[in-house]
Structure 1
Amino acid sequence: MKKILKRSLLIFALLMTAAGLGFAQNQFPSQIWHKGNIYGLDGQSFTGLVKYDLDNNLVQLQTDRIETFTASNVTYFEIFDEVYGGVRKFYSLPYSLNGDYETPIFFEILTEGTDIALLCREYIATDSRNMGAWGPMSMNPLWGPQTMAGYRLAFNYYFFKDNQIQKYSLKKKDLFTMLSDYEEEINLFMRKNRLEHDKRGDLLRITAYYNELNNN
C-alpha cells in the first residue's frame, strides 16, 4: 500500500511539473517568474523570483511579498530562465530611446569583450502570419523564432562600443561598419558557419568571434 501511494504521489508530482512547464512554454519570457537576483545601486542584493518589464523598465521581486524596482535604482539583475535556457543578465544603462534625453533603461547583455558588447531589448510584436496559431514555443540557447497566438518575440539589437550605445539597423553593411578591421575574416566565418546578420544566436556568435580576433 505504501509503495502504491508513493508511486501515485511521484506520478502526480511529475504531471504537475510537466503541466507547469507547458504553461510556462505558452508564455513569453517577460510573462514568467524566474529564479534570480537583483543588485541595487547601493550594493544591496535581493534573491527570489524575478519578473521583468522592459517596456516600462521595471523589475519585480517576489519573496513573501512583491517589490518593484526601476532601472534608476538597479545596477543589474539576472535570471535563470529554465524554459528558454541559461542565465540571462540585464544591465541598467543610460540611453535615449525617444531621442530626447538619456535615462537608465534595461539592456540584456548577449556577449561582451574588451572592445565591443552586443546588447538587446526584447519586445512582443504582432505576427499576422501566425494568427490563430497556439502552442509551446520551441527553445534552444540560440533562441530561434518564437511565435504564439498571433504574436512573436522580437528584438532590437545594440552595440556598446567606444563608451556609446549604438542601435543596430540589421543591415549587413552596418554590421561590418561596426565590426571594422576584420571584414574578410568575419565574412568567411559567417559563410563557413552559415550565419545570418540579423538573428539573435548568429549575431552573438559573430560578435564573440570579433572579440576573439581583437584579443589575438
Structure 2
Amino acid sequence: MKKALIGFLLLFIISGEAISQNQFPSQIWHKGNVFLTDGQGYSGLIKYDLDNNVVQLQADAVSTFTASNVSNFEIYDEIYGGIRKFYSLPYALNGEYETPIFFEVLTQGENIALLCREYIATDNRGMNNWGPMSMNPFWGPPMMTGYRLAFNYYFLKNGKIQRYSLKKKDLFTMLPGYDDEISLFMRKNRLEHDKRGDLLRITAYYNELQN
C-alpha cells in the first residue's frame, strides 16, 4: 500500500511537471515589470496576451492594462530562459488604422530593430517532428502535441514597421547595402533566413556593418 502511494505521488509530480512544460509563455505568470505611458512603473507577476494586446500585473491585486496604457514591459521567462522585452508601438495590424500593439524586441541598433509577435499555431507535422524550436536550448522542451509556438517578424527602420515575409530575397530588401557580407555571414555560421535565433544574429550583424 505504501509503495503504491509513493508511486502515485511520483506519477502526480511527473504529470504536474509535464503539464507545466506543455504551457506556452503567454499562458503562465512571469516575474517582471510594467511601465505605463504616464511614467509609473510596477513590479510583480505578469501575464501577457498579444492577441488582445493586454498585459496583466499581479501584485496586491490583478490589474489589466492595454497597449494604449503601457509604454513597455519586461519579463523573465523561466521556461525558455532570459529576459524578454515588449514595447507598445503604433501599427495597422488590420486595415489601415494604426493602433498601439505589443511587439517583442529581439535586437536593435541605431539603424534597424528586429521585432516579433508570437502566436500559438496548429502543428500538423506530428509529435515526432518538432521543428527548429525544439533543438534550441533557449526555447526549452517541445510543446504540447498538436500546437507549436510560432512568430511573425517585423523590421523597424526609419520610424516605420514593416512585416517580413520570411522569403530570403525579402531579407536582403529589408537589410539593404550589404548583400555579399550578409550572404557570407549566413553561410559561415549556417544561419537560416526564417528562424528566430538566426534572424536575431543576422540583424545584429547588419547593425554592426552600419557602424
In the superposition, the TM-score normalised over structure 1's length comes to 0.85
1:144-155 to structure 2, matched below 5 A, reads 146-155=142-151
The answer to whether the 8 Å contact 1:133/1:148 transfers is no
Q: Percent identity?
A: 72
Per-residue deviation, residues 111-161 of structure 1 (Å, max 9, x unmatched): 000000000000001112236999xx67522x4895422011100000001
Q: How many residue pairs were aligned?
A: 198
- Among residues 129, 137, 142, which one is paired with 1:140 in the alignment? 137
What's 1:81 paired with? Answer: 77
What's 1:159 paired with? Answer: 155
Q: Is residue 65 of structure 1 aligned with residue 61 of structure 2?
A: yes
Partner of 2:44, secondary structure, is strand
Unpaired segments of 5 or more residues in structure 2? 1-8
1:2-151 to structure 2, matched below 5 A, reads 22-130=18-126, 140-141=137-138, 143=139, 146-151=142-147
Matching residue's letter, 2:155: F
CA distance in 2, matches of 1:130, 1:148: 11
CA distance in 1, matches of 2:38, 2:32: 18
Q: Is residue 214 of structure 1 aligned with residue 210 of structure 2?
A: yes
CA distance in 1, matches of 2:146, 2:128: 6
CA distance in 1, matches of 2:183, 2:137: 25
Measured at CA, do residues 106 and 165 of structure 1 come closer, stay the same or move farther in structure 2, by a change above 3 Å? same
For the aligned residue pairs, the C-alpha RMSD in angstroms reads 2.4
Per-residue deviation, residues 159-209 of structure 1 (Å, max 9, x unmatched): 001110000000111100111111100000000000000000000000000
CA distance in 2, matches of 1:98, 1:182: 32
Measured at CA, do residues 144 and 200 of structure 1 come closer, stay the same or move farther in structure 2, by a change above 3 Å? farther
Higher mean displacement: 145-154 or 108-117: 145-154
CA distance in 2, matches of 1:172, 1:123: 22
Partner of 1:90, secondary structure, is strand
CA distance in 2, matches of 1:49, 1:103: 26
CA distance in 2, matches of 1:157, 1:140: 21
What's 1:183 paired with? Answer: 179
